[in-house]
């Protein structure tokens, strides 16, 4: 039996069709047979993420049961080993898949079965989050926080007593039926409630999370959504100011702003393939202090090289407090210098052929060609990255320029027309 719920670096599938109790049981047995752990942390969407717990409790592995931003009829699992190291396709996930598909497990020895303990690590988790900022330097900001009825709300409640912020909480209570829509702020239609609350309450910033809060999305004081690409640059600068000469990991989709910031602040920007498993692995190899993806995944060396949706907004609040600026004013120069419309998805029948057609059209004039993830072509004043989705017939386009908004619009239209012709 072929299991289609196994993806490049995690497990995701439609309930009843790709995932059910039997399949999840087989995956659990396969995980245990492959890893041979003595202790494993199991977490879920509406609890603390298991990645912090795996390292904090020094267990042999962790399983996070989460569908994150997927529709309500989906679920999935993220698997890690000791020290929160992700298990992806080439580091064991394919082996676990084969074991689960074979379904040839030894009978359960009931006399040797382990036990289950329920632990709360919320206090330790909160103290760890607070270690990233100087609380004494924080100003009394007003923040709109939108948990999307996912898992972030109770962490905000626990942080609240330690911070001088006023929190305006919307969609705050965890609710697996997601009465206000699936928590995925990357979708434009899911941003309106945060924007409206920022404007109505004259807030300094808005923050929204996905279901398992491994990503956070920021809205400036006008309620405008801030592209994750520019937050990567902001956090890179923050870490390089505290860690001169440090390494920063970034993905290939949009790069010029991050490269420019790293160079100006004496750091070294290193490119990695997109995806949490690849970023984490490269960060460990390089001992990088920070890694960022434009999709709002941010990774931290002191967070066991894992991504966190809580650390980024705390660091941005510290920057707002220290600089005495608004978020929009801190970013306007960077957005003007390296404008980008953000990622644009196109449904095409044959993604591979479509990308090849675009590549052949532009390759002769390119100054630089990179195939770390999809294709990236650079020219004098603009560049683009084109890559296939791992899960659907979609091609993802990212375009940026040097100081030329009209060129970005022109080239984005040009590439899309070619892609869809």
Catalytic site residues? 68
Virtual torsion, Cα 97, 72, 194, 158, nearest 10 deg? -70
The CA-atom distances, in angstroms, between 284 and each of 90, 248, 253, 275, 389 are: 16, 11, 21, 14, 25
DSSP-assigned beta bridge partners for residue 225: 219
Work out the angle at residue 363's Cα, subtended by the Cα atoms of residues 358 and 366, and round it to the nearest 5 degrees.
Answer: 125
**Tokens 């001088």 sit on residue:** 164
**What string of H, E and C letters represents the secondary structure of the chain?**
CCCCCECCCCEEEEECCCECHHHHHHHHHHHHHHHCCCCEEEEECCCCCHHHHHHHCCCCEEEEECCCCCCCCEEEEEEEEHHHCECCHHHCHHHHHHHHHHCCCCCCCHHHCCCCCCCCCHHHHHHHHHCCCCHHHCCCCEEEEECCCCCCHHHHHHHHCCCCCEEEEECCCCCCCCCCCCCCCCCHHHCHHHHHHHHHCCCCEEEEECCCCCEEEEECCCCCECCHHHHHHHHHHHHHHHCCCCEEEECCCCCHHHHHHHHHCCCEEEECCCCHHHHHHHHHHHCCCEEECCCCEEEEHHHCCEECCCHHHHHHHHHHHHHCCCHHHHHHHHHHHCCCCCCEEEECCCHHHHHHHHHHHHHHHCCEEECCCCEEEECCCEEEEEEECCCCCEEEEEEEECCCHHHHHHHHHHHHHHHHC
Question: b or e along 188-213 (b: 16 or more beta carbons within 10 Å of the residue's beta carbon)?
Answer: eebbebbbebbeeeebbbbbbbbbbb
């Amino acid at each position: 039996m072929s299991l289609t719920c196994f993806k490049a670096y995690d497990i995701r599938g439609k309930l009843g069709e790709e995932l059910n109790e039997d399949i999840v049981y087989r995956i659990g047995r396969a995980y245990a047979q492959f890893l041979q752990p003595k202790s494993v942390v199991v977490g879920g969407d509406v609890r603390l993420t298991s990645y912090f717990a795996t390292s904090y409790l020094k267990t042999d592995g962790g399983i996070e049961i989460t569908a994150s931003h997927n529709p309500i009829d989906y679920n999935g699992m993220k698997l890690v080993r000791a020290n929160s190291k992700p298990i992806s396709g080439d580091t064991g996930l394919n082996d676990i898949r084969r074991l689960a598909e074979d379904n040839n497990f030894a009978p359960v020895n009931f006399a040797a079965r382990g036990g289950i303990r329920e632990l709360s690590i919320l206090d330790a988790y909160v103290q760890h989050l607070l270690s990233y900022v100087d609380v004494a330097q924080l100003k009394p900001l007003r923040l709109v926080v939108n948990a999307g009825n996912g898992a972030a709300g109770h962490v905000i409640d626990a942080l609240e007593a330690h911070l001088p912020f006023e929190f305006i909480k919307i969609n705050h209570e965890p609710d697996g039926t997601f009465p206000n829509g699936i928590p995925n702020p990357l979708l434009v239609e899911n941003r309106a409630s945060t924007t409206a609350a920022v404007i109505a309450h004259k807030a300094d910033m808005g923050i929204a999370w996905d279901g398992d809060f491994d990503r956070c999305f920021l809205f400036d004081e006008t309620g405008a959504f801030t592209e994750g690409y520019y937050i990567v640059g902001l956090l890179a600068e923050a870490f390089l100011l505290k860690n001169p000469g440090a390494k920063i990991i970034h993905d290939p989709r949009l790069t010029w702003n991050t490269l420019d910031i790293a160079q100006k602040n004496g750091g070294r920007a290193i490119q990695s393939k997109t995806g949490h498993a690849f970023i984490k692995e490269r960060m460990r190899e390089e001992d990088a202090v920070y890694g960022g993806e434009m999709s709002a995944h941010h990774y931290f060396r002191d967070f066991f090289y894992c991504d966190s949706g809580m650390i980024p907004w705390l660091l941005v609040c510290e920057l707002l407090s220290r600089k005495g600026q608004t978020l929009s004013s801190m970013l306007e120069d960077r957005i003007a210098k390296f404008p980008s419309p953000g990622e644009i998805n196109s449904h095409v029948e044959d993604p591979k052929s479509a990308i090849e057609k675009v590549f052949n059209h532009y390759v002769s004039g390119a100054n630089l060609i990179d195939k770390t993830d999809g294709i990236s072509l650079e020219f004098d004043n603009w560049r683009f990255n084109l890559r296939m989705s791992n899960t659907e017939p979609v091609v993802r386009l990212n375009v940026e320029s040097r100081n030329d908004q009209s060129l970005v619009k022109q080239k984005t239209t040009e590439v899309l027309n070619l892609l869809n012709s």
